[in-house]
């Protein structure tokens, strides 16, 4: 360490360090820079006290403000809930029919329903509600259990064949082949007849034999000409839409082993307003039907729990 | 143009410091042709700035009645009879390009006229310098007060002066916000404390920038902060008008008295330093063109006055091109002013500037006030119905840019045998033509389903939007109809 001296070339004092003849000039940091640096240190100390800062083994210091990103999110969600609270209350008080007739409520319900659909329903019914084999397309005009807003609402609340829910929509097709009600040949004849009903095939000998079997075994639920029954969720057979496929193989499988599609009951999973919005959204997808004229007993019984949840 | 700056070349022979402490500038009051012109420009600029938001303009019941309004919340820009939507932003871009080329044009023709007369920094600095004179008196009184020790009188005067600065700054910063909301309403809200926080924040920031830039930094903004003087050195040429000290006529300088004693005749410059005293940026124009000169021409006024007093011809300092300076040095006549201003370079700028202006005006006349866009559903692309019909879904956006509600029809062009319905209609009521009311100044989304009977083939078709009122107007949007066989393309 040599003594500090004035550097000839610059007129600046050296700091006194010397390495192989290289010396360092004493040009201190600008004062504004230094003070900013000190201010940053002070700020950092304060920051680590009031905000989460020091990592511990499983967590970190919480900070006196108690801030957390999760808390931030919760705050935003609360603010959003508060913002829409009035609308939600209106939707809660309105019946599904009233929502359908009030353009403002209907718009809000459709938007809310779309969001809830994306979270809860697309796993089976698809992002565009187009369904897939075994999961109904909700855009079309073919409804197993009914397509008016109130019925859709009831379906969403109680689900279909949901175990443990007494109010769920329940029906069961016999496994005609597996349980020995029909022989394999008879099943094939019924398949032929169903394909004729649907207009997929021309009438033939097999279908004629199948017609009698159909009349004996299937008419009760699926109707004389395959028009189906919404009371028991028996699909229409004389239309262009197949839930499980209309090929011979698929129909053989259906009649032999039967089908047992299940939808959860959402009435005890989601809040009543969300369920109502979901029903309104599904009804708006293009195939929604007008409310039917007052129906006899079975509909009313099934609808009762829906009112109870509101 | 050499950047010979007295602030940078202050006498420290071995000093390489790049920092120069500000020397106060205390410009003397002066009257003359250019000063009066500056008054006029200042009055017009301030009047436009403060007055514009208060001009009313009747647009009917559905739109603001403020003539000039930048409605950021609703993303609309109103300017008298013109309303600009966000998608028409190219009009604003065009105006900005015109402003840029306009500056090129003005600079190449008359030099830094923008800096000298119309730049807000110049206008507000000028305003604050008048406040200085009002409170402290003219140059000499200001200098005396600057040197005087702090006493009751100085404190009082400074408080008054800075108070006036702050008032002007507040009025300046406060006026800005009225361009962005209904001015009378916002003013009421502003004083009752119910205006949006951003209004107060903007007012505060602009008040402070006006106070700091206009009240205290002044010419330093032009010399150190503004990029424009640097750009202009590249744009000026030997045919641009710049404020010139005619040294061939003025030198050697000397007072009238010393001229009588001198052995050789002296020049016209009597070295009275009036040109320096009146300069708002504190330079000496006699050192030649320099970056500190904003060409405000006050030194011309000062010199003309001095020349008149000693009975010599005016124009020792004058607007003059470098070419003319060479010519006059050789004793030739300068070029006529009009020929200097209208030369090929400026005419090219003028041509480009007018072409863009005309193109904008043409587009303004051509634009339609309604618009249709169609987004086809891709998930699902099509839906098979019970009867074998195929249905496609679309989201239409109907845009009504008029400030009144309008009734439109939406019709199918093509798609033979098809019909459509909206999500607010019954499918059974499907038609080929729908009537839709769109509120004023709104884009209305419309969910539309088209249906073709069993056995439908993919097709291309168009939605056609037509206004039913007497102004009319129409727009169409091509799209496709998808079936299991594809989308027809």
Neighbours of B483 (CB within 10 A): 18
Residues 6+ apart with CB under 8 A from B39: none
Nearest residue in A to B445, CA atom: A107
- How many residues are listed for chain B in this entry? 489
Picking from B81, B89, B191, the residue whose alpha carbon sits closest to that of residue B69 is B81
| Structural domain count, chain A | 2
* Predicted pLDDT of residue B7: 47
Taking only residues 43 to 62 of chain A, the set having a beta carbon closer than 8 angstroms to any beta carbon of chain B reads none
User: Phi/psi class of residue B411: alpha, beta or left (left: φ > 0; alpha: ψ in -120 to 50)?
Assistant: beta
Whether the bond into B34 is cis, omega within 30 of 0: no
Q: Does the CB of B124 have a partner CB in chain A at under 8 Å?
A: no
Neighbours of B75 (CB within 10 A): 12
Could you tell me if A149 and A292 lie in one domain? yes
Greatest CA separation found in chain B?
Answer: 118
CA distance A16 to A5: 7
Nearest residue in B to A104, CA atom: B424
Residue A156 located in a structural domain = yes
* Predicted pLDDT of residue B437: 94
CA distance B187 to B334: 55
Residue A306: pLDDT band (50, 70, 90) is: very low
Could you tell me if A253 and A274 lie in one domain? no
CA distance A96 to A91: 9
Q: Which two tokens stand for residue B276?
A: 């320096």
**Between A and B, how many CB-CB pairs are < 8 A?**
54
Chain-chain contact of A139 with B391 (C-beta, under 8 angstroms) = yes
Could you tell me if A89 and A159 lie in one domain? yes
* Predicted pLDDT of residue B424: 83
Residue-by-residue DSSP string for B298-332? HHHHHHHHHHHHHT--S-SEEEE-HHHHHHHHTTP
Chain-chain contact of B383 with A142 (C-beta, under 8 angstroms) = no
Residues 6+ apart with CB under 8 A from B318: B243, B244, B246, B300
Shortest CB distance from B393 goes to which of A110, A142, A286? A286
- How many residues are listed for chain A in this entry? 310
For the cut 70, the answer to whether the pLDDT of residue A127 exceeds it is: yes
Q: Which two tokens stand for residue A126?
A: 């698809």
Chain-chain contact of B391 with A286 (C-beta, under 8 angstroms) = yes
Instruction: Measure A100 CA to nearest chain B CA, in Å.
Output: 10
Tokens 């206008």 found at: B123
Chain-chain contact of B427 with A126 (C-beta, under 8 angstroms) = no
For the cut 90, the answer to whether the pLDDT of residue A297 exceeds it is: no
Residue B419: its chain A contacts at CB < 8 A? none
Residues 6+ apart with CB under 8 A from A104: none
Chain-chain contact of B386 with A141 (C-beta, under 8 angstroms) = yes
Q: Are A143 and A250 in contact (CB under 8 A)?
A: no
Chain-chain contact of B379 with A287 (C-beta, under 8 angstroms) = no
How many secondary structure helices (H) and strands (E) does chain B include?
A: 17, 14
Domain ranges of chain B: 33-235, 242-331, 370-481
Nearest residue in B to A122, CA atom: B379
* Predicted pLDDT of residue B32: 92
Residue B424: its chain A contacts at CB < 8 A? 103
Shortest CB distance from B386 goes to which of A128, A129, A240? A240
pLDDT tens digits, chain B, 489 residues: what are they?
A: 444 444 444 444 455 666 777 888 899 999 999 999 999 999 999 999 999 999 999 988 888 899 999 998 888 899 998 889 988 888 989 999 999 999 999 999 888 999 999 999 999 999 999 999 999 999 999 999 999 999 999 999 999 999 999 999 999 999 999 999 999 999 999 999 999 999 999 999 999 999 999 999 999 999 889 998 888 888 888 889 999 999 999 888 888 888 888 788 888 999 999 999 999 999 999 998 888 899 999 999 999 999 999 999 999 999 999 999 999 999 888 889 898 899 999 999 999 999 999 999 999 888 888 999 999 999 899 999 999 999 999 999 999 988 889 999 999 999 999 999 998 888 888 999 999 999 988 899 999 999 999 989 999 999 999 999 888 889 999 999 999 999 877
CA distance B269 to A95: 95
* Predicted pLDDT of residue B415: 92
Instruction: Measure A268 CA to nearest chain B CA, in Å.
Output: 29
Could you tell me if A233 and A301 lie in one domain? no
Q: Which domain holds residue A117?
A: 83-167+270-308
Taking only residues 408 to 447 of chain B, the set having a beta carbon closer than 8 angstroms to any beta carbon of chain A reads 423-424, 426-427
Q: Does the CB of A132 have a partner CB in chain B at under 8 Å?
A: no
For the cut 70, the answer to whether the pLDDT of residue A295 exceeds it is: no
Q: Does the CB of B449 have a partner CB in chain A at under 8 Å?
A: yes
Whether the bond into A50 is cis, omega within 30 of 0: no
Chain-chain contact of B379 with A239 (C-beta, under 8 angstroms) = no
As a whole-number percent, the residues of chain A with pLDDT over 70 amount to 94
Does the predicted interface ipTM exceed a cut of 0.90?
no
Instruction: Measure B12 CA to nearest chain A CA, in Å.
Output: 15
Shortest CB distance from B383 goes to which of A140, A236, A239? A140
Q: Are A1 and A17 in contact (CB under 8 A)?
A: yes
pLDDT digits (tens, 9 = 90+) for B282-321: 999 999 888 889 999 999 999 999 999 999 999 999 999 9
The DSSP call for residue B286 is G
Could you tell me if A276 and A243 lie in one domain? no
CATH 2.60.40.10, domain B370-481, yes or no: yes
* Predicted pLDDT of residue A8: 83
Instruction: Measure A137 CA to nearest chain B CA, in Å.
Output: 8
Residues 6+ apart with CB under 8 A from B57: B65, B66, B67, B78, B80, B81
Neighbours of A297 (CB within 10 A): 7
Chain-chain contact of A137 with B379 (C-beta, under 8 angstroms) = no
Could you tell me if A121 and A241 lie in one domain? no
CA distance B424 to A288: 11
Chain-chain contact of B424 with A103 (C-beta, under 8 angstroms) = yes
Q: Does the CB of B387 have a partner CB in chain A at under 8 Å?
A: yes
Residue-by-residue DSSP string for B5-31? -TTTS-S-TT------PPPP--PPP--
Q: Does the CB of A23 have a partner CB in chain B at under 8 Å?
A: no
Q: What is the pTM of this model?
A: 0.71
Q: Does the CB of A290 have a partner CB in chain B at under 8 Å?
A: yes
Q: Does the CB of B17 have a partner CB in chain A at under 8 Å?
A: no
* Predicted pLDDT of residue A135: 96
* Predicted pLDDT of residue B368: 82
pLDDT digits (tens, 9 = 90+) for A167-219: 999 999 999 999 999 999 999 999 999 999 999 999 999 999 999 999 999 99
Residue A226: its chain B contacts at CB < 8 A? none
Could you tell me if A210 and A136 lie in one domain? no
Shortest CB distance from B386 goes to which of A127, A142, A290? A142
Q: Which two tokens stand for residue A97?
A: 């029919």
The DSSP call for residue B380 is T
Q: Does the CB of B13 have a partner CB in chain A at under 8 Å?
A: no
CA distance A249 to A245: 9
Q: Does the CB of A239 have a partner CB in chain B at under 8 Å?
A: yes
Mean of the per-residue pLDDT values of chain A: 90
Residue A18 located in a structural domain = no
* Predicted pLDDT of residue A307: 44
Could you tell me if A111 and A158 lie in one domain? yes
For residue B383, list its beta bridge partners: B391
Instruction: Measure A55 CA to nearest chain B CA, in Å.
Output: 37
Chain-chain contact of B393 with A140 (C-beta, under 8 angstroms) = no
CA distance A54 to A63: 9
Residue A252 located in a structural domain = yes
Q: Does the CB of A257 have a partner CB in chain B at under 8 Å?
A: no
Could you tell me if A227 and A159 lie in one domain? no
Residue B388: its chain A contacts at CB < 8 A? 239-240
Q: Does the CB of A286 have a partner CB in chain B at under 8 Å?
A: yes
* Predicted pLDDT of residue B50: 96
Nearest residue in B to A110, CA atom: B423
* Predicted pLDDT of residue B188: 95
Shortest CB distance from B383 goes to which of A239, A286, A290? A286
For residue B480, list its beta bridge partners: B460
Residue A294: pLDDT band (50, 70, 90) is: low
Residue A299: pLDDT band (50, 70, 90) is: very low
* Predicted pLDDT of residue B334: 87
Could you tell me if A292 and A152 lie in one domain? yes
pLDDT digits (tens, 9 = 90+) for A71-87: 999 999 999 999 999 99
Q: Does the CB of B484 have a partner CB in chain A at under 8 Å?
A: no
Could you tell me if A89 and A208 lie in one domain? no
Could you tell me if A90 and A206 lie in one domain? no
* Predicted pLDDT of residue B236: 87
For the cut 60, the answer to whether the pLDDT of residue A233 exceeds it is: yes
Q: Does the CB of B383 have a partner CB in chain A at under 8 Å?
A: yes
Residue A139: its chain B contacts at CB < 8 A? 380, 383, 391, 393
Q: What is the CATH number of the domain that holds A91?
A: 1.10.760.10
Chain-chain contact of B383 with A103 (C-beta, under 8 angstroms) = no
């Amino acid at each position: 360490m040599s003594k500090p001296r004035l550097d000839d070339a610059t007129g600046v004092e050296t700091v006194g360090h010397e390495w192989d003849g290289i010396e360092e000039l004493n040009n201190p940091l600008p004062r504004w820079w230094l003070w900013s640096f000190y201010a940053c240190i002070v700020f950092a100390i304060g920051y680590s006290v009031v905000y989460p800062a020091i990592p511990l083994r499983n967590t970190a210091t919480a900070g006196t403000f108690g801030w957390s990103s999760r808390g931030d999110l919760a705050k935003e969600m609360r603010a959003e809930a508060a913002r829409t609270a009035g609308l939600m209350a209106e939707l809660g008080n309105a019946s599904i029919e009233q929502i359908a007739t009030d353009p403002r409520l209907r718009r809000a319900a459709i938007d809310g329903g779309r969001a809830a659909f994306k979270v809860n329903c697309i796993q089976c019914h698809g992002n565009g509600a187009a369904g897939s084999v075994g999961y109904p397309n909700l855009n079309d005009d073919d409804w197993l259990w009914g397509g008016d807003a109130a019925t859709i609402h009831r379906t969403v609340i109680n689900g279909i064949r949901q175990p443990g829910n007494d109010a769920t929509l329940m029906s069961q097709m016999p496994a005609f082949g597996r349980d020995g009600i029909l022989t394999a040949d008879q099943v094939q004849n019924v398949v032929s007849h169903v394909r004729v009903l649907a207009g997929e095939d021309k009438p033939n000998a097999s279908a004629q034999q199948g017609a009698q079997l159909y009349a004996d075994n299937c008419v009760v639920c699926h109707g004389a000409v395959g028009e189906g029954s919404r009371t028991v969720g028996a699909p229409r057979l004389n239309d262009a839409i197949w839930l499980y496929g209309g090929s011979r193989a698929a129909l053989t499988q259906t009649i032999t082993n039967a089908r047992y599609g299940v939808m959860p009951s959402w009435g005890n999973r989601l809040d009543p307003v969300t369920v109502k919005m979901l029903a309104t959204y599904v009804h708006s997808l293009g195939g929604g039907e007008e409310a039917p004229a007052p129906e006899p007993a079975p509909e009313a019984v099934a609808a009762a729990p829906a009112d109870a949840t509101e | 143009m050499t950047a010979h700056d007295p602030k940078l070349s202050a006498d420290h022979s071995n000093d390489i410091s790049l920092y120069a402490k500000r020397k106060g500038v205390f410009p003397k009051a002066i009257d003359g042709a250019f000063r009066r012109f500056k008054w006029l420009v200042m009055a017009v600029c301030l009047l436009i700035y403060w007055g514009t938001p208060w001009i009313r303009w009747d647009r009917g019941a559905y739109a603001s009645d403020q003539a000039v309004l930048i409605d950021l919340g609703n993303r609309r820009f109103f300017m008298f009879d013109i309303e600009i939507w966000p998608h028409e932003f190219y009009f604003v871009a065009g105006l900005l390009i015109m402003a840029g080329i306009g500056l090129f044009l003005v600079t190449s023709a008359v030099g830094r006229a923008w800096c000298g007369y119309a730049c807000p920094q110049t206008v507000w600095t000028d305003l604050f310098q008048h406040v200085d004179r009002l409170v402290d008196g003219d140059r000499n009184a200001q200098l005396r007060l600057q040197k005087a020790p702090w006493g009751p009188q100085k404190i009082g005067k400074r408080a008054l002066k800075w108070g006036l600065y702050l008032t002007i700054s507040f009025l300046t910063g406060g006026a800005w916000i009225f361009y962005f909301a209904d001015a009378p309403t916002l003013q009421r809200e502003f004083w009752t404390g119910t205006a949006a926080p951003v209004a107060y924040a903007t007012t505060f920031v602009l008040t402070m920038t006006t106070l700091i830039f206009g009240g205290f930094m002044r010419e330093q903004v032009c010399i150190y902060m503004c990029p424009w003087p640097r750009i202009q050195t590249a744009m000026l040429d030997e045919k641009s008008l710049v404020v010139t000290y005619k040294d061939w006529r003025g030198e050697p300088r000397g007072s009238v008295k010393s001229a009588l004693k001198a052995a050789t005749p002296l020049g016209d410059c009597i070295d009275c330093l009036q040109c320096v005293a009146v300069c708002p940026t504190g330079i000496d124009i006699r050192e030649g063109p320099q970056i500190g000169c904003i060409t405000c021409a006050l030194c011309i006024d000062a010199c003309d006055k001095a020349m008149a007093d000693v009975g010599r011809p005016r124009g020792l300092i004058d607007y003059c091109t470098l070419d003319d300076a060479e010519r006059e040095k050789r004793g030739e006549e300068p070029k006529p002013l009009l020929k200097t201003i209208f030369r090929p370079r400026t005419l090219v700028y003028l041509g480009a500037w007018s072409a863009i202006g005309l193109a904008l005006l043409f587009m303004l006349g051509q634009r339609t006030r309604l618009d249709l866009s169609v987004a086809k559903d891709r998930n699902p692309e099509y839906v098979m119905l019970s009867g074998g019909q195929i249905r496609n879904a679309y989201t239409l956006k109907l845009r009504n840019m008029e400030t009144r509600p309008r009734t439109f029809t939406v019709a199918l062009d093509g798609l033979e045998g098809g019909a459509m319905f909206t999500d607010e209609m019954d499918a059974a009521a499907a038609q080929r033509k729908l009537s839709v009311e769109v509120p004023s100044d709104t884009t209305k989304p419309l969910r539309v389903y088209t249906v073709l009977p069993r056995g439908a083939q993919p097709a291309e078709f168009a939605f056609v939007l037509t206004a039913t009122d007497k102004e009319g107007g129409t727009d169409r949007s091509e799209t496709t109809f998808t079936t299991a066989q594809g989308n027809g393309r």
